[in-house]
Amino acid sequence: MRDIHRLAVASVVLCLAAALPARAEVEYRAAVLRVDAPGPAPISRLDLVPEDLGFAGAELGTADNATTGGFMGQSFTTETIAATPESAEAEISRLLDEGVPYIVLLADAPMTLRLADLAGDRALVFNAMAPEDSLRGADCRANLLHVAPSDSMIADALAQYLVWKKWTDWFLIEGSHPQDQALAAAYRRAAEKFGARIVEERVYEDTGGARRTDSGHVQVQKQMPVFTQRARDHHVVVAADRAGVFADWLPYHTWDARPVAGSSGLVPESWHPAHEAWGATQFQTRFERLANRPARDEDYQVWMALRAIGEAATRTQGGDFAAIRDFILSGDFDLAAFKGQSLSFRDWDGQLRQPVLLSAGNVVASVSPQEEFLHQVSQLDTLGIDQGETECER
Amino acid sequence: MRLAILACCTALTAGPALADKIFVSNEKGNTITVLDSDSLEVIHTISGMQRPRGITASPDGKIIYVCASDDNLVRVYDAETYEELPSLPSGPDPELFVLHPSGNPLFIANEDDNIVTVVDVETRQVLAEVPVGVEPEGMGVSPDGKIVVNTSETTNMAHMIDTETYEIVANVLVDSRPRFAEYTPDGSLLFVTAEIGGTVSVIDPATNEITKKIEFEVAGVLPEALQPVGLRVTADGTKAYVALGPANRVAVIDVASLEVTDYLLVGQRVWQLGFSPDGRFLYTTNGNSNDISVIDTETDTVTVSVPVGEQPWGVVAVKSD
């Protein structure tokens, strides 16, 4: 199961460093550790998980860093590891023993926490997958930064748009998995924060079984209308389905003729293959040329984590671990990541503040924060847990 | 050649003044809008290109070059007849370019390929491909034509390229997402805008050191909306104008003190700037309001905004024959 690739781009081949004063090359070693838990296949075969999920983003981030590093006398290597829940702890221990100081995790929330605690002060850990607010709140860690947007950022991004649209009455349907309930809690909080009302709530129980069956739509067409009938009057159905059990089946199957948002329909997420604004086309084409597939959230998030290290290496002119960590957490850090403004880490919980895309099928329909929602510090802080609300004690 | 044109125009000022032509590339509209500078009426629309962005003119003002990004080539037009002339190879996804002061060659930033393509505009041959940082975008050229500057948006550097050897002779680290590079007419200063960093770096070309970073502040405008993009310096070198993107403002900089002296409210998402041939007016492309604004550079006032095509991107003005 252990699958290791080493991505190394030797900057010397670029032959571009000539114009800078000669100096010893500084090497930056990072690792991407993905913990693959066994689970059912997704509802749609379009969503089958590629084997290089996140790793392709790592390859691009490493290559981008190396191009800049070529001018700076810096080289970047990234080891990518696909682990199981059973092997993950041994893998991170090995990385720490080898002195890899920057570790990007693609794991669920409990595993992320466990691995971050194992790293302690030996590594700076980036959470590139788990969205749970608890990781940024009561369970926050000083060595753990979050490039994946939190549940509350995702929920707030959609809430702002729906309130702007004056679709303020929501029918919230949540799944029965813990991660669904965490997201649903974020939607409840977002409704209160932005003045929407949840007029009806239901739980869609995951009763197990395969999610893909031949002509499965026949039953779905009967079940979904029944499941959604007799809801109180609502403007929109909001689905909280992190586990991917039911939300894809909601559009066009609801009892009432209402749009669906959240886990399907109008979807708040950090990346979408159709996103083209603010130079994003360049990211998409670079990525697709390298991976032969569209980029997913995890790829973009890993890319951001590695670019944060690369940006800090550039700005600190080849700084060491302490310099890189301090710079990333400082007010001087900003990351350009095709979202139209600079991104930076919140010093109260280590969350990367970032706009959230609202995708609708083949297009990006909108981007939050919506301009009407103001903030005294940064408009990006209208998304997610603000300084005064945080439960994090770092 | 240039002197002859100036002499000719001086001779003509006794007669009825000839209007200039303003060419605006409309990124979404897939057109070039041509306006008469006196009436500010649309006198022609050129179509038949995909995603036109960077636009410039030959030194004599007779030829218009356009980066047709989705056509992956540079389209060429006769400024008087609007006839399309043979296209130039550009490399993939050309966005911005700069013409050597002599009128040849053309230096093109290829965002997708991390290269600057050098093209002879007469033979239409690619002379060189220069590897630069990630996502090359802004292109500037020194007044003596010896150095071409390319800015790379993800590498965050200005790369100084020798125009004879096509080699990078220096790299200057600037703030995030550098978009545009422009020298003062005497070549003593180089300005580089950084869209995400929100600054303009002032570089001493002699030492390739940053001597100052100009910052911006507008009451009531979010700091993250102050995104410097296009920049132009007046012919006398006294003032620089900076388009501030979604802040919907153009900043005026006093070049002697390098201080911002004014902010001019223009249309929405102001991106690129171009002077009238006599320098009296500055035209701004306002991508989200589908218009251009006209700034009187003597008074630094915005006199009018004029609708053009969809999502105007770049602008160049030339003398009419």
Domain limits, chain A: 3-149+272-354, 152-269
- Here the tokens at position B239 are 């003032």
Of A285, A315, A336, the CB nearest to B177: A336
Provide the pLDDT for residue A342.
92
Provide the pLDDT for residue A391.
96
- Here the tokens at position B270 are 């102001």
| HSE-up (13 A, CA, CB side) for residue A306 | 36
Contacts of B176 in chain A (CB under 8 A): 334-336, 342
Contact between chains at B157 and A18 (C-beta distance less than 8 A): no
A326 burial via Cβ count (<10 Å: 0-12, 13-18, 19+): middle
Provide the pLDDT for residue B260.
98
d(CA A226, CA A268): 27
Provide the pLDDT for residue A199.
98
- Here the tokens at position B162 are 């020798």
Which carries the bigger pLDDT value, residue A176 or residue A25?
A176
CA distance A53 to chain B (A): 23
CA distance A33 to chain B (A): 25
User: Which strands form B115-119's sheet, in the order they lie side by side?
Assistant: B94-99, B106-110, B115-119, B126-131
Asked whether the predicted pLDDT for residue A3 surpasses 70, the reply is no
CA distance A306 to chain B (A): 13
Of A18, A334, A336, the CB nearest to B154: A336
d(CA A265, CA A238): 9
Which carries the bigger pLDDT value, residue A25 or residue A250?
A250
Q: Which strand (E) or helix (H) includes residue B34?
A: strand B31-36
Taking Cα atoms as reference points, which of B160, B154, B244 lies closest to residue B199?
B244
- Amino acid letter at B321? D
- Residues A234-239 have a mean pLDDT of 98
3-state secondary structure chain A: CCEEEEEEECHHHHCCHHHCCCCCCEEEEEEEEEECCCCCCCCCHHHCCCCCCCHHHHHHHHHHHHHHHHHHCEEEEEEEEEECCCCHHHHHHHHHHCCCCEEEEECCHHHHHHHHHHHHHHCEEEECCCCCHHHHCCCCCCCEEECCCCHHHHHHHHHHHHHHCCCCEEEEEEECCHHHHHHHHHHHHHHHHHCCEEEEEEEECCCCCCCCCCCCHHHHHHHHHHHHCCCCCCCEEEEECCCCCCHHHCCCCCCCCCCEEECCCEEEECCCCCCCHHHHHHHHHHHHHHHCCCCCHHHHHHHHHHHHHHHHHHHCCCCCHHHHHHHHHCCCCCECCCCCCCEEECCCCCEEECCEEEEECCEEEEEECCCCCCCCCCHHHHCCCCHHHCCCCC
Contacts of B246 in chain A (CB under 8 A): 340
Q: What class, spelled out in words, does domain A3-149+272-354 have in CATH? A: alpha beta
Of A67, A279, A379, the CB nearest to B155: A67
d(CA A385, CA A86): 33
Yes or no: say if B302 and B266 are a contact pair by the CB < 8 Å rule.
Answer: yes
Closest residue in A to B95 (Cα–Cα): A279
Yes or no: say if B88 and B126 are a contact pair by the CB < 8 Å rule.
Answer: no
Does A3-149+272-354 match A152-269 in CATH topology?
Answer: yes
DSSP helix/strand/coil, B155: coil
- Residues A186-194 have a mean pLDDT of 98
DSSP helix/strand/coil, B3: helix
Mutate: best of A12, A71, A372, A380, partner B, most B CBs <10 A: A71
**Topology (CATH level 3) of domain A152-269:** Rossmann fold (3.40.50)
Q: Which residues pair with A201 in a beta bridge?
A: A172
Contact between chains at A68 and B133 (C-beta distance less than 8 A): yes
Mean pLDDT, chain A, integer:
92
Which residue has 């403002």 as its token pair? B249
Q: Which strand (E) or helix (H) includes residue B273?
A: strand B270-275
Of B111, B153, B171, the CB nearest to A20: B171
Mutate: best of A11, A76, A282, A344, partner B, most B CBs <10 A: A282
Yes or no: say if B274 and B282 are a contact pair by the CB < 8 Å rule.
Answer: yes
Yes or no: say if B118 and B130 are a contact pair by the CB < 8 Å rule.
Answer: yes
- Amino acid letter at A32? V
Which residue has 């030339």 as its token pair? B318
Closest residue in B to A316 (Cα–Cα): B173
Yes or no: say if A306 and A62 are a contact pair by the CB < 8 Å rule.
Answer: yes
DSSP helix/strand/coil, B11: helix
What are the Cα distances from residue A77, in Å, to A30, A74, A98? 6, 10, 13
Which carries the bigger pLDDT value, residue A12 or residue B183?
B183
Q: Mark B4-15 as b/e (b = at least 16 C-beta within 10 Å).
A: ebeeeeeeeeee
Cis-peptide into B228, omega within 30 deg: no
Q: What is the pLDDT of residues A341-358, one digit of tens each?
A: 999 999 999 999 999 999
Provide the pLDDT for residue A11.
41
- Amino acid letter at B215? E
Interface contacts A/B by beta carbons within 8 Å: 76
- Amino acid letter at B86? P
Residue A10 — very low, low, confident or very high, per pLDDT cuts 50/70/90? very low
- Pairing type for strands A144-146 and A124-127 reads parallel
Contact between chains at A336 and B222 (C-beta distance less than 8 A): no
d(CA A11, CA A65): 9
Give the distance between the most distant pair of CA atoms in chain A: 73
Q: Mark B116-139 as b/e (b = at least 16 C-beta within 10 Å).
A: bbbbebeeeebebbbbbbbbbbbb
* Series of mean pLDDT values for 10-residue runs along chain B (321 residues): 45 57 97 97 96 96 95 96 96 91 95 91 95 93 97 94 96 95 97 96 97 96 93 98 97 98 97 97 97 98 97 96 67
Q: What is the pLDDT of residues A148-176, one digit of tens each?
A: 999 999 999 999 999 999 999 999 999 99
What are the Cα distances from residue B299, in Å, to B252, B267, B309? 11, 18, 28
φ, ψ of residue A200 in degrees (nearest 5): -155, 140
d(CA A129, CA A141): 16
From chain A, which residues contact B within 8 Å (Cβ)? 14, 16, 18-20, 64, 67-68, 71-72, 279, 281-282, 285-286, 307, 311, 314-315, 334-336, 340-342, 378-380
Q: How many residues does chain B have?
A: 321
From chain B, which residues contact A within 8 Å (Cβ)? 93, 111-112, 114, 131, 133-135, 153-157, 159-160, 168-171, 173, 176-177, 195-198, 222, 224-225, 227, 246
Closest residue in B to A285 (Cα–Cα): B112
Q: What is the pLDDT of residues A285-303, one digit of tens each?
A: 999 999 999 999 999 999 9
Contact between chains at B197 and A342 (C-beta distance less than 8 A): yes
CA distance A254 to chain B (A): 37
Q: Which strand (E) or helix (H) includes residue B2?
A: helix B2-12
Taking Cα atoms as reference points, which of B246, B268, B316 lies closest to residue B98?
B316
Q: Which strand (E) or helix (H) includes residue B275?
A: strand B270-275
Q: Which residues pair with B168 in a beta bridge?
A: B161
Taking Cα atoms as reference points, which of B169, B146, B144, B143 lies closest to residue B158?
B169
Provide the pLDDT for residue A7.
60
Query: Which residues contact residue A318 at a Cβ distance below 8 angstroms, ignoring those fewer than 6 apart?
Result: A23, A26, A72, A73, A74
- Here the tokens at position A321 are 């671990």
Contacts of A281 in chain B (CB under 8 A): 93, 111
d(CA A352, CA A144): 11
Q: What is the pLDDT of residues A93-135, one digit of tens each?
A: 999 999 999 999 999 999 999 999 999 999 999 999 999 999 9
Provide the pLDDT for residue B93.
84
Taking Cα atoms as reference points, which of B321, B295, B286 lies closest to residue B28?
B286
Which residue has 């989200």 as its token pair? B288
How large is the ipTM? 0.76
* The CA-based dihedral angle spanning residues B202, B203, B206, B207, taken in that order and rounded to the nearest 10 degrees: 130
Provide the pLDDT for residue A212.
67
